[in-house]
Amino acid sequence: MDKIRVRGGKQLQGILHVSGAKNAVLPAMAASLLTSEPIVLENSPQVRDVSTMIRVLQRMGALEPQREGSRLTLRVPKIASAEAPYELVKTMRASVLVLGPLLARCGEARVSLPGGCAIGARPVNLHIMALQKLGARIEVEHGYMVAEGRELKGADISFDSKTVTGTENLMMAATRAQGRTVLRNVAQEPEIEDLAELLNRMGAKVSGAGTEIIVIDGVDELHGAVHPVIPDRIEAGTFLMAAAITRSAVKVENCRPNHLDAVLEKLRDVGVRMEVGPSAIQVVPDGPLRPGNLVTLPYPGFPTDLQAQYMALATQAGGSSLITESIFENRFMHVGELRRMGAHIDIDAHFAVVHGPTPLTGAQVMATDLRASASLIVAGLLAEGETIIDRAYHIDRGYERIEEKLQKVGADIQRIH
Ligand code: EPZ
């Protein structure tokens, strides 16, 4: 099993290029199930979750995908099997995103329930509730959601709470339902807007994505399309934290700063100086870091997927920062590992108090999930000595060649096979 070794204490310099967004390309790939024509996804990241989604789609009848660099072409001429098996879904919860498109395309689906994961129970009751409102019959049997819905009908649906993939599943299911669907209290993440853009390129009628109400007028057929996937705002945020913690003059390029408003505001509040352009953010090393309280929230609030990386940064602030994780009930797995590196953090349920500044020292640590592993790299870049991060496969799920990118700006980081 691969490990990542980081020798810290070096200032970084240069340009960090951001790849396409994992959480935008996965629903876009699922959308290829909605038509028999080719879907071309440009700026598609080469991360492990993309490979897993390809295997899920191939199980359903997708042809061998074509890949030219970051250009990925998918085609599902016909649905050979409407089943997403447990052995794939358990490795990537986002596989649940095939449920809506399968129902829309062939009126049936058998999708393994994702089960819990390191960061929380993560039920899919909201997905099921909303699809049932479109007229689908969904039973849970032997760990699978068995769904049937040959004539989905548009409906007015309110989500009890915001769900990103739940919103995406319903958008895709409603594109070919009869009549109008109105989705209320939906998630507003940029990845949702990006999916709506792709669906409209395929001939769908989706409006309001990015707001709290999305309206979809069903159509009979969808066709092929070419779509540029948005840059990964979480990768961009991770790079900003890496530059800030090492006091480095790094430019984060090919990103969308307007997708990072809450993150940039928080970083400025704690003393990180940045020059922001239309598609790049230049970090300018400056004075000491200040403490800053943080609450993770649905977009446009501060993303939970950057909480762990921010926590690593807060270990260097001149005082205590209170971090409240309001999205997932178990997203502090990185705290134990950061403490092994010398961090002083108290946790109580959803709350963590990070006391700083504390000198970090390299240690052997364990990655527990994707973003926790990113926070250990951020901490390792500053820590005195060597940090060995075990279970590096977690990082590969959502970061494209992260150690090569960081090496380019002078980081002493390697993969140990
Ligand atoms: C998406 O997960 C992202 N994944 C996650 O990124 C991200 O952390 C999360 O949104 C929140 O921003 C993808 O886009 C593939 P939710 P998702 O449904 O859609 C509860 C990463 O690191 N809930 O918005 O699964 C749920 O338990 C990953 O890249 C229900 O109770 O998240 C959570 O507490 C991790 N019932 C909250 O809502 C439901 O049916 C938000 O979850 C659905 C969700």
What is the CA(164)–ligand 1 centre distance, in A? 6
pLDDT at position 121 is: 83
Residue owning the nearest CA to atom 4 of ligand 1? 23
Percent of the chain with pLDDT over 70: 100
> Can you tell me the mean pLDDT for 84-107?
96
The catalytic position among 15, 117, 276, 322 is 117
Evaluate if residue 115 carries a pLDDT over 80.
no
Name the 3-class secondary structure at 275: strand
What is the CA(360)–ligand 1 centre distance, in A? 31
Percent of the chain with pLDDT over 90: 96
Give CA–CA dist 292/310, Å, rounded: 10
pLDDT at position 120 is: 84
Residue owning the nearest CA to atom 10 of ligand 1? 164
pLDDT at position 1 is: 82
> Can you tell me the mean pLDDT for 19-26?
98
What is the CA(375)–ligand 1 centre distance, in A? 19
CA-based nearest residue to 167, from 176, 175, 179, 159: 159
Is 106 labeled as catalytic in the residue annotation? no
> Can you tell me the mean pLDDT for 357-364?
98
Q: Which atom of ligand 1 is nearest to the CA of 189?
A: 12
Residue 147 buriedness (CB in 10 A; 0-12 / 13-18 / 19+): buried
Evaluate if residue 259 carries a pLDDT over 90.
yes
Give CA–CA dist 22/357, Å, rounded: 33
Give CA–CA dist 8/380, Å, rounded: 6
> Can you tell me the mean pLDDT for 14-32?
98
Q: Is 94 in the pocket of ligand 1 (CB under 6 A)?
A: yes
pLDDT at position 335 is: 98
Evaluate if residue 293 carries a pLDDT over 90.
yes
Evaluate if residue 348 carries a pLDDT over 80.
yes
- Tell me which H or E stretch contains 3: strand 3-7
- Residue 300, preceding bond cis, omega within 30 degrees? yes
Task: Name the H helices within 136-254.
Answer: 164-174, 190-201, 233-245
Q: Which atom of ligand 1 is nearest to the CA of 23?
A: 14
Query: Which of 29-38, 86-95, 223-232, 338-347 comes out lowest in average pLDDT?
Result: 86-95
pTM over 0.85: yes
Quickly tell me which residue has 């071309």 as its tokens. 40
What is the CA(162)–ligand 1 centre distance, in A? 9
pLDDT at position 193 is: 98
Give CA–CA dist 22/3, Å, rounded: 22
Quickly tell me which residue has 């449920």 as its tokens. 99
> Can you tell me the mean pLDDT for 249-258?
98
pLDDT at position 92 is: 94
Q: Is 407 in the pocket of ligand 1 (CB under 6 A)?
A: no
